[in-house]
Amino acid sequence: MQIGIVGLGRMGGNIAVRLTRHGHDVVLFDRDPAAVTKTHDRAEKGRAQSASSVEDLVSKISADRKIVWVMLPAGDITEACVQQLKGLLGKDDIVIDGGNSYYKDDVRRSHVLAEKGIHYVDVGTSGGVWGLERGYCMMYGGTKDSTDHIDPILKALAPGKGDVVRTTGRDKPGLDPRAEEGYLHCGPAGSGHFVKMVHNGIEYGMMQAFAEGFDVMKSKNSNVLPEDQRFDLNMADIAEVWRRGSVVSSWLLDLTADALAKNESLSEFSGEVADSGEGRWTIEAAIEESVPVPVMTASLFTRFRSRSGNNYAEKVLSAMRFGFGGHVEKK
């Protein structure tokens, strides 16, 4: 299939390259010409075209149903691009928002585009800078017609079954087989980003638990403790042993172990931890639904506090964020 991709940052560029590796053709645009050149050079030969503008990108898509994947920061930038595409695309064309947009914006945009018969698909995309090789876990919302049409694109981006042990009972009726491949149609427009939003809220809590645990262990040699209760523990070794058969083994722990093996003090991280929006939106949704989420709320507030003085726990959080998404905190 042929698809246009607007936004060639850390994830957008890799998504484009992965698609070309799986036999799809891409038209590339980014406001930074160097990003277009870099992605074009990394793509499979003959499968990428460069565009000089969004208008040029749309004109170079020759498929009967034009597909444009928008991979831009949530908010005004994405909004402006979607509105621009409304004026450039026609009936049955498809706009995909693969960023981290607020799900209520997706619902609204889907109605606006539907006025011209344009389909809108929101794709919550997880995989960070590792997605090029590992594939992307995707949760998406939109009409059945549009999501079925772009299924080859999503299948190419997804990690596939790999060597993950199959869950018992997955053969029963009503379960979507695509979930085992790492991508899932969650429902109408907005549902994909809603599920991804909650995913990131959970991620906040998991990261915070790891960070606090390592902080407790790191502080076990404190002089406020009785001398015979002080332990000088090796954080890198503990992270490594937990990766081997422990019930807390996970990709987040893998990233932590990698960072600690390089520098146990994590001195390259300031410990000032940013939040990219999804954690706040998850808590807002919980308030609307009257659902208690004390862990996620506390983890978000801890990120706020980290910006006015921080400790080892926040450095661990920063290390994990850098590991999965290339996020660089302020020095």
State the Cα angle at 168 between 151 and 172, rounded to 5°.
60
Q: Output the CA torsion 278→283→287→291 (10° steps).
A: 110
Match 């800078």 to its residue by tokens. 129
Tokens representing 298 are: 């506390």
Cα 318 to Cα 272: distance, rounded to the nearest angstrom:
7
Cα 287 to Cα 296: distance, rounded to the nearest angstrom:
12
Does the active-site annotation cover 227? no
Does the active-site annotation cover 104? no
Indicate which residue of 203, 212, 272, 278 is catalytic. 203
* Contact criterion met (CB below 8 Å) for 194 and 103: yes
Give the amino acid at 225.
L
* Contact criterion met (CB below 8 Å) for 124 and 193: yes
Among 37, 26, 100, 35, which Cα is nearest to 63's?
26
Indicate which residue of 196, 218, 272, 278 is catalytic. 196
Task: Report, as residue numbers or ranges, the catalytic residues.
Answer: 196, 203
